[in-house]
Structure 1
Amino acid sequence: MRDTVLSQYANSPILLAILDTMGTAIDRQAQLSGFRDWVWNVDTAQGFGLDLLGRIVGVARSLYISTADYLGFSDQPSAVPFGEGVFYSAQRLTPNYSVSDDAYRQMILAKAALNITNCSIPSVNAILRALFPSYGNVYVRDNADMTMTYVFSAAPSKVDYAIVTQSGALPKPAGVAVTVETP
């Protein structure tokens, strides 16, 4: 701190004592290390730091996850038959769901990879494998008719299904319809 004092005050013992006391109380290195660990490093960031990094790469923490099963047909992933489900009323029955820090960290890394990738099938497959390592065989299929399908070998949870369909962490090319295939 003494190197920031003007030369006319360099010999003032009171000012130098105040600056020395403040210098020990305010350790800039510890603050910068804390900022780097809690905010700027994606591997160790938490809470607000992840929210900030998510805004930078363009992925939101909140997802809409329906807890009700609706009456539907076999092509719907969460459809149930008559007598077990309700008719869809187009109203949100549940509030938005905020994903955990670990899941959000994976979404941020996937979106960051998407932002710099060429969106070829192998690069999208690499993003899928990194985002969903516990689902085994997860890949994207080009259907050659302006559609593409994200294929899961195991049924994804509602949160993971919302990540695929709503988060924006996976590519959806312009003019291409995207579907999700689950067992």
Structure 2
Amino acid sequence: MNRKNFIIWQYRTKPNAIGTIRAIYKETDSTFQKIIQIADVLNIDTATGYALDLIGRHVGVYRVLPAVIAKNYFGWRDDVTSLPFGVGEFYRRGDALSSSVVLNDDDYRFFIRAKIAKNYQNGTLDNIVKSVQFVIGGYSNIIDSLDMSMNIIINSNKLSSLILYAISKMDILVRPVGVMYNYTVLDNDTPFGFAHDSDSYGFGIGKFVRLQHIEIGIN
């Protein structure tokens, strides 16, 4: 469509009027394109580096996680976590046992999404289940104990050190006020069961479930 059709008749043959209108349109179009670019820069899926830092600050998550990685010091070979002489640092009383970690963009994006999910919680059981499965994975589940506590079932294959830090130190899961979470780890993802349970496996494939508790309490 010709833009001149939107100009009133007495200005269509006036060069100065046409020039002014074109200049205004050019500046307006440039401003609009910059606004669109800002939306693209602050897109969680595509943002990187400093742009992702801006998003994180806005929702209350920072790229540096303090005291999340255990530090390895010099020790003897009986200690599998120790380092040999010349490699490991000697521990002195009062030294930190853990160090901070700087998240890469992918891990930082995960924490931002989890924080956004928590910021928009509504406290319903359905919302809690979706939040838990979003953060921990689809194999997780949650059981309401009906005593102001809930049991969260986590598949061990989906439990990384970052996820453990998020749920234990950052209280990042959706949680109603006053409700405590108890975390239980499922050691395998092929539990033995019978035919009426579609999520179970038969003899020779399924394994008897063993539960491992994580000593974390969030009040």
Instruction: Please report the TM-score for the alignment, with normalisation by the length of structure 2.
Output: 0.52
Larger Rg: 2
**What secondary structure is seen at the aligned counterpart in 2 of 1:54?**
helix
Partner residue, 2:122: 118
Partner residue, 1:129: 133
> Structure 2: any 5+ residue segments left out of the alignment?
1-15, 17-22, 73-77, 83-92, 188-219
Structure 2 residue aligned with 1:57, among 37, 56, 59?
59
Q: Distance in 2 between matches of 1:48 and 1:29?
A: 23
Contact 1:111 1:168 in 2 (8 A): no
Partner residue, 1:152: 154
Q: Give aligned-pair identity as a percent.
A: 27
1:121-156 Cα offsets, whole Å, 9 max, x none, are 2212212222233xx511233233332333212251
Q: Distance in 2 between matches of 1:45 and 1:107?
A: 14
- Structure 1 pair 85–98 and aligned structure 2 pair: CA distance change class (3 A): closer
Letter in 1 for 2:47: A
Partner residue, 1:138: 140
1:85-122 Cα offsets, whole Å, 9 max, x none, are 89xx9964222222221222222222222222212222
Partner residue, 2:203: none
- Structure 1 pair 83–103 and aligned structure 2 pair: CA distance change class (3 A): closer
Contact 1:163 1:169 in 2 (8 A): yes
Higher relative contact order at CA 8 Å, sep ≥6: structure 1 or structure 2? 1
Report how far residue 68 of structure 1 moved.
5.9
Superposed CA RMSD: 3.7
Aligned pair 1:175/2:183, yes or no? no
